[in-house]
């Protein structure tokens, strides 16, 4: 099955990607910035918790 896929869009145009990288993207040199990862994860978790509370 050969499905015709739409052209790929830049990640920065995806709202979920932007939220997941609110404090920035990881460097491309192979090193992981743990402080940056923690900030992004905390922001993501707060957003998810907020949405969860709004639905209750």
Structure confidence at residue 36 (pLDDT): 98
Burial class of residue 38 (count of CB atoms within 10 Å of its CB; 0-12, 13-18, 19+): exposed
What confidence tier does 1 reach under pLDDT thresholds 50, 70, 90? low
Residue 37's pLDDT is 97
Residues 50, 39: Cα–Cα separation, whole Å: 17
The residues, any chain, with a CB within 8 Å of residue 40's CB and separated by 6 or more, are 20, 21, 22, 23, 24
Q: What are the pLDDT digits (tens) for 17-56?
A: 999 999 999 999 999 999 999 999 999 999 999 999 988 7
pTM attached to this predicted model: 0.76
Strands (E), the chain: none
């Amino acid at each position: 099955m050969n499905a015709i896929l739409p052209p790929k869009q830049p990640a920065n145009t995806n709202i979920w990607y932007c939220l997941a990288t609110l404090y920035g993207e990881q460097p491309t040199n192979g090193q992981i910035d743990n402080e940056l990862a923690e900030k992004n994860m905390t922001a993501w978790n707060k957003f998810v918790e907020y949405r969860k509370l709004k639905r209750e």
